[in-house]
């Protein structure tokens, strides 16, 4: 079979942050994160004997017309789309367009939104299949084998049978991640992807686990696709890093597991990086919860020795009542202490700050803003990412918002408005515009004289200078994201 995994250009309010994103946002200055699981699917399908076409019109900046021309020319048997809540209606239209230019092509939708609401896309679009769960690689392999007459479809697939919608039962996440081949970086055009904050090229991504050891935060969309946590072995990840260094000369890596495996796994990984000399070859960054740092105060120093450069961590609120309510299982003092431990070990912290909870007052939101600014001022946080609370379908927060009439929109399924250009949830004493201004104010923290001076003093090389210049451009772009884009 000829199978296309596609991210066509999307018409909207900027560059869509779609691939591998737990939260969607339109960005004035976009960067594309490598879609690791779909890339793994492409690799697995090719190994199974299929002709695989990787098409990312967003990352490659192709027009939507280019996508349709490609489909019409290639006539793939199957086209696969990853979607998210704010753009699912766009993908319904895209599926219809695919059917017009290539009527025999069958289409697949996958992602956290369609996992939560699979019947919706089957009823409101002409797509042929919806994949639920997060193991797109294994489920796509199973679907392709079934369509080729080589077995039954795995669980978690919705499809059309006569004039009705049928399914194969619930999805399962019992697949062995160590059985997967290393992702084919040429097939999936890995050079197109990266982070604004990267220091070195070549820059690549890995994924040690799926997806988070805690996995209970009520706002997180990926708890829908990954309700359980699994990891690869330490040796598997180390072998992949060695391959990336030796084959591609990679100098910097970000591991996009929702939370990088902690405890003994993390210690063994650090020791392996040092023993293999990989800490001298690359800079390594990842997502990490603060409580895992605080529980093992010696681990940041070992991580630094192993080549760790940056940790992305959540500062969802500075109010303990909110952290408890969203089941974050972390204390405010853990956030402060975790930032201190990491920064004193020489590891940069990038905070994800969230505002717009329906129970938080203006003062509560200001508490969060002030804590973030204080951590920046003390040099205990190096970067901030500002987001508006979005209740994605399938999350406990969405269910609570529906039950308590917190959603500002009628109808509730005005999904295109869940795009972070405005609050979705009603607020006790703030207007929507005030929340957006607060998000912009968080980014303005980068413009303080103390922060600017600290960044200038850290410049030791041309790569450091390039990093600072790219960072300044990104900050200005983010300020625009919460100002001009929403108009």
Decide if pLDDT at 263 tops 70. yes
Q: Mean pLDDT over residues 434-445, rounded?
A: 82
Which tens digits make up the pLDDT trace of 188-243? 999 999 998 899 999 999 999 999 999 999 999 999 999 999 999 999 999 999 99
Q: Considering the domain 2-167, what is its CATH architecture?
A: 3-Layer(aba) Sandwich (3.40)
Which tens digits make up the pLDDT trace of 29-39? 778 999 999 99
Greater model confidence, 60 or 445:
60
Q: What is the dihedral of CA 133, 138, 140, 146, to 10 degrees?
A: -120
> For residue 426, what pLDDT band results from cuts at 50, 70 and 90?
very high
pLDDT attached to residue 485: 43
Please classify residue 31 by burial: count the beta carbons closer than 10 Å to its beta carbon, then call 0-12 exposed, 13-18 middle and 19+ buried. Answer: middle
The percent of residues above 70 in pLDDT, for the chain, comes to 91
pLDDT attached to residue 472: 58
Q: What is the dihedral of CA 110, 113, 117, 118, to 10 degrees?
A: -10
Supply the mean pLDDT for the chain: 93
pLDDT attached to residue 73: 99
Decide if pLDDT at 478 tops 60. no
Q: How many CB atoms lie within 10 A of CB 396?
A: 16
Residue 299, C-beta contacts closer than 8 angstroms, at least 6 positions apart: 262, 266, 267, 270, 292, 293
Decide if pLDDT at 317 tops 70. yes
Which tens digits make up the pLDDT trace of 59-118? 999 999 999 999 999 999 999 999 999 999 999 999 999 999 999 999 999 999 999 999
CA distance 394 to 153: 24
208, two tokens: 């040690």
pLDDT attached to residue 27: 87
> For residue 467, what pLDDT band results from cuts at 50, 70 and 90?
low
Considering only 111-115, 268-272, 372-376, 461-465, which range has the smallest mean pLDDT? 461-465
- Each domain of the chain, given as residue ranges in start order, spans 2-167, 195-481
What is the sign, positive or negative, of the torsion defined by CA atoms of 305, 308, 309, 312?
A: negative
Which is nearest to 289 in space by CA: 306, 264, 314? 314
Confirm if 138 and 175 have CB atoms less than 8 A apart.
yes
Question: 């809540």: which residue's tokens?
Answer: 85
Query: pTM of the entire structure?
Result: 0.93
Task: Break the chain down into helix, strand, coil percent, rounded to 5.
Answer: 45, 15, 40
CA distance 286 to 270: 13
CA distance 238 to 256: 15
What is the sign, positive or negative, of the torsion defined by CA atoms of 130, 82, 483, 396?
A: positive
- Phi, psi angles (nearest 5°) of residue 422: -165, 160
pLDDT attached to residue 486: 46
Which is nearest to 237 in space by CA: 14, 404, 36? 36
Which is nearest to 434 in space by CA: 366, 351, 384, 487? 366
Domain spanning 195-481: CATH 3.80.30.20: yes
Please classify residue 187 by burial: count the beta carbons closer than 10 Å to its beta carbon, then call 0-12 exposed, 13-18 middle and 19+ buried. Answer: middle
Q: How many CB atoms lie within 10 A of CB 131?
A: 27
Q: What is the dihedral of CA 329, 330, 331, 337, to 10 degrees?
A: 160
- Phi, psi angles (nearest 5°) of residue 106: -100, 150
């Amino acid at each position: 079979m000829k199978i296309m995994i596609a991210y066509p250009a999307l018409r909207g309010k900027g560059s869509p942050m779609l691939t591998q994103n737990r939260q969607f946002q339109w960005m004035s200055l976009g960067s594309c994160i490598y879609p690791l699981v779909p890339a793994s699917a492409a690799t697995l399908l090719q190994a199974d004997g299929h002709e695989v076409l990787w098409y990312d019109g967003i990352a490659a900046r192709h027009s939507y017309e280019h996508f349709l021309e490609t489909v019409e020319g290639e006539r793939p048997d199957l086209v696969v789309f990853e979607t998210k809540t704010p753009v699912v209606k766009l993908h319904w239209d895209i599926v219809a367009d695919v059917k017009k230019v290539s009527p025999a092509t069958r289409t697949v939708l996958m992602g956290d939104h369609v996992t939560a609401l699979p019947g919706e896309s089957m009823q409101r679009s002409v797509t042929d299949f919806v994949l639920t769960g997060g193991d797109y690689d294994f489920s796509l392999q199973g679907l392709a084998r079934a369509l080729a007459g080589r077995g039954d479809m795995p669980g978690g697939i919705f499809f059309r049978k006569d004039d009705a919608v049928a399914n194969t039962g619930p999805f399962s996440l019992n697949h062995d991640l160590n059985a997967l081949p290393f992702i084919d970086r040429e097939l999936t055009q890995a050079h197109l992807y990266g982070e604004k904050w990267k220091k070195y090229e070549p820059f690549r991504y890995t994924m040690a686990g799926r997806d988070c050891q805690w996995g209970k935060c009520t706002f997180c969309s990926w708890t829908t696709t990954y309700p359980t946590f699994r990891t690869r072995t330490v040796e598997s990840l180390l072998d992949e890093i060695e391959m990336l260094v030796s084959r591609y000369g990679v100098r910097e890596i970000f591991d996009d597991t929702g939370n990088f495996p902690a405890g003994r796994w993390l210690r063994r990984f650090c020791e392996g990086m040092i023993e293999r000399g990989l800490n001298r070859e690359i800079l390594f960054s990842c997502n990490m919860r603060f409580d895992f740092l605080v529980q093992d105060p010696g681990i940041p120093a070992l991580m630094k020795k192993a080549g760790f450069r940056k940790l992305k961590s959540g500062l969802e609120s500075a109010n303990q009542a909110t952290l408890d309510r969203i089941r974050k299982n972390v204390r405010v003092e853990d956030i402060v202490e975790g930032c201190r431990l990491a920064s004193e070990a020489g590891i940069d912290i990038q905070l994800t700050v969230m505002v717009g909870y329906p129970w938080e007052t203006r003062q509560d939101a200001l508490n969060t803003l002030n804590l973030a600014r204080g951590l920046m001022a003390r040099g205990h946080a190096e970067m901030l990412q500002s987001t508006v609370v979005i209740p994605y379908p399938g999350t406990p927060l969405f269910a609570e918002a529906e039950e308590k009439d917190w959603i500002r929109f009628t109808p509730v399924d005005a999904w295109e408005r869940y795009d972070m250009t405005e609050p979705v949830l009603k607020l006790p004493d703030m207007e929507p515009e005030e929340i957006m201004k607060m998000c912009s104010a968080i980014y303005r923290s980068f413009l303080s004289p103390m922060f600017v001076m600290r960044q200038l003093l850290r410049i030791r090389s041309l790569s450091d200078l390039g990093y600072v210049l790219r960072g300044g451009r990104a900050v200005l772009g983010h300020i625009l994201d919460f100002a001009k884009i929403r108009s």
